[in-house]
Amino acid sequence: MSRQYPQINLSRRGLLKFSAGAIGTGVLTAGLNSNLLADENKAPAEDDITPDKALQELLDGNERFVQTKRKNPHQTHSRLVEVAKGQKPFASILGCADSRVPSEIVFDQGLGDLFVCRVAGNIATREEIGSLEFGSLVLGSKVIVVVGHERCGAVSAALKGGEVPGQIGSLIEAIKPSVESSKGQSGDKLENACKANILTQVKKLKSSPVLSELINAEKLKIVGAYYDLDTGKISIVA
């Protein structure tokens, strides 16, 4: 069955209001003009979905994945043609670039369902935050899930420390505060650091003026989740 989701109301007045609060993040600038909004409004008409329902849709999809009962929704040619007119993803994912955690597969979703940002260590950089602000404010995504995972290589590197080549160090520096905050906790050090890193990135996203205003208006939910590489199970951690 094809799901349908609501058009987000983006009048010029409403857009300017959000723009004033988003200048610091750079997500909405003069480049986000009426022509862009006109293109996005070409998406099919959609019914209402709440942030809680959007999150449950993701968790239900993951349960199907774990139970090997995937429906593989919205992966037909007709769906491709439908979303070519415009996108209205119901959920956004900030995930790790790890090849073992493909969002559409582990959440059992399809074309046009998820707005996905992936970077090693699932860190909320300025660019990732700006992208997710766009996905929520302009495209109408109702939930953002920060998905970290078991035995994350980027977090492991931050735990071990030492010199690394190229720009890899920028990733490690972004994760170090989470490693520090997890010290002294009982249990597996790497798992604790991975989960602490998820919580840190959730906090960063919630500090966005654009996203916080949507949260306060009950139009958006931001949560953290931990992916078990061995079972494929997603567990909410924040």
Report pLDDT digits (tens) over 147-194.
Answer: 999 999 999 999 999 889 999 999 999 999 999 999 999 999 999 999
pTM, full prediction: 0.82
> What are 74-91's pLDDT values in tens digits?
999 999 999 999 999 999
| Whole-number Å distance between alpha carbons of 237 and 101 | 17
Terminal C-alpha separation, the chain: 30
Q: Is the pLDDT of residue 111 over 50?
A: yes
Residues paired with residue 226 on neighbouring β-strands, in sequence order: 148, 235
Q: What integer is the mean pLDDT of 87-96?
A: 98
At residue 80's C-alpha, the angle toward residues 74 and 84, to 5°, is: 125
> What are 6-62's pLDDT values in tens digits?
444 444 444 444 444 443 334 343 344 434 443 444 444 345 799 999 999 999 999
User: Which of 84, 7, 74 lies closest to 45 in space, CA to CA?
Assistant: 7
Q: Is the pLDDT of residue 142 over 60?
A: yes
Least confident segment among 21-25, 98-102, 114-118: 21-25
pLDDT of residue 238: 75
| CA Rg value for the chain | 18
Q: Which two tokens stand for residue 117?
A: 């940002």
Least confident segment among 15-29, 191-205, 216-230: 15-29
Q: What integer is the mean pLDDT of 126-135?
A: 98
Could you tell me the sign of the dihedral formed by the alpha carbons of 122, 124, 126, 128, in that order? positive
Q: What is the dihedral of CA 68, 116, 112, 136, to 10 degrees?
A: 130
Structural domains of the chain ordered from first start: 12-236 (3.40.1050.10)
> Scanning the structure block, which residue is given the tokens 């046009």?
112
